[in-house]
Amino acid sequence: MSPEVPRRVMPTQAEWQAAIAPFRVPEQRAATAQVLNTVVPYLLCVALAYGLLPIAYWAALPFIVLAGLFTVRAFIISHDCGHGSFTASKKLNDRIGFWTGVIAYTPYLQWRHSHAIHHADSGNVESDGTGYIWCQTTRQYQASSFLRRLSYRAYRSPLVLLGLGGAWLFLIEYRWFDRHADQRAKRQVWAVNALWLAFGALVWLTLGPMALVKVQLPIALISSALGVWLFYFQHHYPDAHFDGEGEWDFTRAALEGSSFLKLPRWLQFFSGNIGFHHIHHLASNIPNYNLERCHYADPVFQQVKPITLFESLKSLNFRLWDEASRKLVSFRRIRHLRKARRTRDE
């Protein structure tokens, strides 16, 4: 047997509840400012991108990229509304969440449900993968059929995760409602689809179909790739913690299984402070505009090791959770581990 990996002592629930208490209260002024500095620039960038397209594509391109970045920020606002944290009003949260979700190609109510499941069992390798990126243990992977291993390898490839997968999720999968969705959620899916269909028809009739291909498609691809990239590295990094059903612990899953992704200021702005993901998973009702202040307010949160943008890119090699070493490992590492264990057993 491999030696037990020492675990850091977690704060008690009473300790971290006391530490986060001042930051849980939504601030209407901050929420209003975020809506204004997200939605208004997004609309301006989209308008300029389409307006400059007949003149020169290179002139429209900077605004296409900016619109993609503001789409990510809109998604974070919708995400906060889904947690009920963005404003103190449930009705206002739902309204803002719906419209910012439209910007981000996301049906608000349906996504809110799947994301709640993610928060309920994040870091549990025995859960079914609803609302998060599928992660197998080495034991699960080795016990799988050839076709299942092949599909898992394809799923975990950077091309799928950060490219095709994000585009499929936001542009195609979110156009259909879950079979267990209630009538209100189903209506929202169709409403989002109808709004985008109407917008697409307007652009098609005024600027032609290629305008959608040259402007809207890149905006969607940029935002979906960046969104999935953020989500991936929030739970898949060198020291990420996972556990099985019997050992899973909420506090540890938050502070050791959710990253502190230290981003450049400009990217922290567009990602809505979601890099402070350890705080977010500890208390999802802290609005994104309070996450940074909460992190620096108590030493217990600052014990979480920050991950830089460059370090996060290396995490793409981590594909499986190895139960023996209690680490995320690459597919290549599995072969080395198997060989070492056979040698040890002999």
pLDDT of residue 277: 92
Reported as a single tens digit per residue, the pLDDT across 219-250 is 999 999 998 888 888 888 877 777 766 677 88
Q: What is the secondary structure of 273-334 as a DSSP string?
A: TTTBHHHHHH-TTS-GGGHHHHHHH-HHHHTSPEEEHHHHHHGGG--EEETTTTEEE-HHHH
Write down the number of H helices and E strands in the chain. 19, 5
pLDDT of residue 127: 64
Better-scored residue on pLDDT, 241 or 280: 280
pLDDT of residue 3 exceeding 50: no
Asked if residue 122 is part of any domain, the answer here is yes
pLDDT of residue 45: 98
Tokens of 268: 């922290």
pLDDT of residue 304: 85
Domain span at residue 48 reads 13-345
pLDDT of residue 67: 98
> Which of 127-136, 265-274, 308-317 shows the lowest mean pLDDT across its residues?
127-136
Percent of the chain past pLDDT 90, that is, above it, reads 51
Q: 116: how many CB neighbours lie within 10 A of its CB? A: 14
Asked if residue 255 is part of any domain, the answer here is yes
Asked if residue 1 is part of any domain, the answer here is no
- Could you say which DSSP state residue 173 is in? G
pLDDT of residue 132: 66
Asked if residue 89 is part of any domain, the answer here is yes
Q: How confident is the model at residue 38 (pLDDT cuts 50, 70, 90)?
A: very high
Q: How confident is the model at residue 279 (pLDDT cuts 50, 70, 90)?
A: very high
pLDDT of residue 130 exceeding 60: no
Better-scored residue on pLDDT, 323 or 70: 70
What is the overall mean pLDDT for the chain?
Answer: 87
Please count the structural domains in the chain.
1
pLDDT of residue 313: 76
Reported as a single tens digit per residue, the pLDDT across 6-17 is 556 677 888 888
